[in-house]
C-alpha cells in the first residue's frame, strides 16, 4: 500500500479503522506529553543551576567534568544492544507493512 493510498484511507470515513486511529492518536498524545514533561524538567534544572550561588557553581563544574569524562568505550556493549534492538524493531515494522500489503 503506497503512502497516497494510506493517507486516502486515513481520511476516508468509510474506511476508517478505529483501532488504527486510536493507536495514532495515543502515539501523538504520548509523544507530546513526554516532550512537555522533559522540557519542564530540563527548564527546572537550568533555572536551578543558573543562580549565582557558590554551591551551584560547584555543582555546575561537577556536571561539566562528568560529561567530559564520559567515554563511549566504557559502555560500548550497551550501544551495540541498543543498535541491535532498534534494527530488530525496524525489521518488525517493515514486515508488518509487507504482510499487510
Q: Can you tell me the distance from the alpha carbon of 34 to that of 14, in angstroms, rounded to the nearest whole number?
A: 33
Residue 87 grid coordinates: 534494527
Q: Can you tell me the distance from the alpha carbon of 4 to that of 47, in angstroms, rounded to the nearest whole number?
A: 46
Structure confidence at residue 14 (pLDDT): 74
| CA dist list (Å): 29 to 1, 32, 45 | 26, 5, 25
pLDDT by residue (tens digit) across 71-91? 767 778 888 999 999 999 999
pLDDT by residue (tens digit) across 2-43? 556 555 666 676 777 888 888 889 999 999 999 999 999 999
Query: Residue 101: helix, strand or coil by DSSP?
Result: coil
pTM: 0.55
Residue 89 grid coordinates: 524493531
Structure confidence at residue 8 (pLDDT): 60
Query: Are 74 and 84 within 8 A, CB to CB?
Result: no
Query: Are 60 and 49 within 8 A, CB to CB?
Result: yes
Helices and strands per DSSP (H, E), number in the chain: 4, 0
Structure confidence at residue 16 (pLDDT): 74
Amino acid at each position: 500500500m503506497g503512502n497516497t493510498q494510506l493517507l486516502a484511507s486515513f481520511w476516508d470515513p468509510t474506511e476508517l479503522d478505529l483501532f488504527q486511529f486510536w493507536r495514532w492518536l495515543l502515539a501523538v498524545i504520548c509523544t507530546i506529553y513526554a516532550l512537555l514533561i522533559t522540557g519542564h524538567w530540563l527548564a527546572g534544572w537550568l533555572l536551578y543551576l543558573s543562580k549565582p550561588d557558590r554551591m551551584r557553581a560547584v555543582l555546575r563544574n561537577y556536571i561539566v567534568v562528568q560529561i567530559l569524562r564520559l567515554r563511549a568505550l566504557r559502555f560500548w556493549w550497551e550501544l551495540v544492544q541498543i543498535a541491535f534492538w532498534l534494527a530488530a524493531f525496524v525489521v518488525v515494522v517493515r514486515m508488518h507493512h509487507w504482510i499487510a500489503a
